[in-house]
Amino acid sequence: MIHERGPMVQTIFDGITAHRVRAPRLTAGVLERPAVSDAESTVVFIHGNVSSSLFWQPTMLALPGSVRALAVDLRGFGDSDTLPVDATRGVRDFSDDVASVLDALAVEDAHVVGWSMGGGVAMQLLIDRPELVTSLTLVSPVSPYGFGGTDAEGRILDPSEPGVGGGGANPDFVTRLVEQDRSADAPTSPRTVLRTAYVADPGSIADHEDVWVESMLSTRTGADNYPGDASSADAWPGFGPGRRGVLNTMAPRYFDVSGIVDVADKPDILWMHGVQDAIVSDASFFDLNQLGALGVIPGWPGAEVAPPQPMVTQTRAVLERYAARGGSYRELAIEGCGHSAHLEAPEVFREALIGQLG
């Protein structure tokens, strides 16, 4: 099956089959690389924000023939239904959707892989449906305490959470998503953002860059989807989280998956991240407090009031607690790699993931 988005771009790779799976919660786009021999295990891939399941295709094709690989489009992305996102549930609209699709496909357990926001969805799935998760692989995951507005221990800095949520999206980037901009004419075009933020080396994605841009352009926009709405805040920079849409799902008031440490049966966790990640790091260029500290956004009130969020440090601390309570995890920090280890370091990623499958 070939999907074409834009001028003659074949987005589905040979060996991958695209389905639309009708589940109780939604009809979801699902990519599948069937096992080519007797299936010994199933791997389920969950994409991140402003992307879709298309990004997982090289990894799916590289897995051993005994592995069935599935990649699910989250609501409002790819070929899944455009449904509103209730941010007050954190990412549970997404994780419940994934569980619903797996139930519809009669998948009783799987190795779950989550990238970026999808890592948060995967952690929520582990909390709510632990029987589904045989192992958990996190690829540059959002911090267990959400995106923005917390200290090293995950405590909320200010109850109004200034600078967090839907108001933080660049409006020109959103407009270019709406206009289906495929150019590299501006810093805010999806193609430029892909080259400068999703990866450390744009050359690592050159072969399939047009496919990844089409994936980004599948993002549905608006208050109920990406980026979401916003609230006003007295403190700098003048806005806080709303209650609807994608970016607000990761506001700390709604999102906290540090509860993975309390899951009774703890699957092994593999955590992979790029050392040069521009999006999820202890100095993220998408954290408004970090941009304030750099002088990019004027009026920053200082580190005592609005310190950048130490995202990687927070994740490591939660995983250390996970291990102390009987689980196990392995961290793989990849030099020369940005936010997308599965694209930038495919051999390293594949070897680590296959090791995780046991």
**Which CATH homologous superfamily contains domain 17-159+250-357?**
Alpha/Beta hydrolase fold, catalytic domain (3.40.50.1820)
**46, β-bridge pairs:** 72, 114
The owner of tokens 């990894």 is 59
* 147 vs 117: CA distance, rounded Å: 9
In this prediction, residue 147 carries a pLDDT of 98
Beta partners for residue 44, in sequence order? 70, 112
> Residue 233 has what pLDDT?
95
The residue assigned the tokens 């632990």 is 130
What residues contact residue 14 under an 8 Å CB cut-off, 6+ apart?
Answer: none
User: How many Å apart are CA 196 and CA 216, to the nearest integer?
Assistant: 14
Can you tell me whether residue 250 is helix, strand or coil? helix
Could you give the CA distance from residue 59 to residue 106 in angstroms, rounded to a whole number? 23
Local structure of residue 329 (DSSP, 8 states):
E
> What Rg, from alpha-carbon coordinates, does the chain have?
19
Dihedral, CA atoms, 72, 86, 229, 74, nearest 10 degrees? 0
pLDDT of residue 6: 55
**So what's the pLDDT on residue 2?**
33
Going by DSSP bridges, is the β-strand pair 27-33/17-22 parallel, antiparallel, or unpaired? Answer: antiparallel
Rounded to whole angstroms, the Cα distance separating 22 from 197 reads: 34
How high is the pLDDT of residue 40?
A: 86
The pLDDT score that the predictor gives to residue 4 is: 40
The answer to whether 246 and 226 are in contact (CB under 8 A) is yes
Interstrand relation of 239-241 and 230-232 (parallel, antiparallel or unpaired): antiparallel
The CA–CA distances, whole Å, from 62 to 327, 335, 347 equal: 28, 22, 9
| Widest CA span in the chain | 60
Domain map (residue ranges) of the chain: 17-159+250-357
Rounded Cα gap, residues 209 and 195, in angstroms: 9
Would you mind telling me the total number of residues written for the chain in this entry? 358
The overall pTM is greater than 0.95:
yes
What separation in angstroms does the CA of 255 have from each of 246, 259, 295? Answer: 12, 11, 28
| Separation of alpha carbons 87 and 216, rounded Å | 21
CB 252 within 8 A of CB 146: yes
Contact 27, 18 (CB under 8 A): no
Look at the block and give the residue holding tokens 């800095």: 157
Sole residue written with tokens 């089409």: 214
Can you tell me the distance from the alpha carbon of 86 to that of 248, in angstroms, rounded to the nearest whole number?
A: 9
The reported pLDDT for the residue numbered 1 is 27
First-to-last C-alpha distance (Å) of the chain: 32
pLDDT score for 21: 98
Please, are residues 18 and 79 in contact by the beta-carbon 8 Å criterion? yes
| 10-residue mean pLDDT series, the chain (358 residues) | 55 97 98 88 98 98 96 98 98 98 97 98 98 98 98 97 98 98 97 98 97 98 98 97 98 98 98 98 98 97 97 98 98 98 98 95
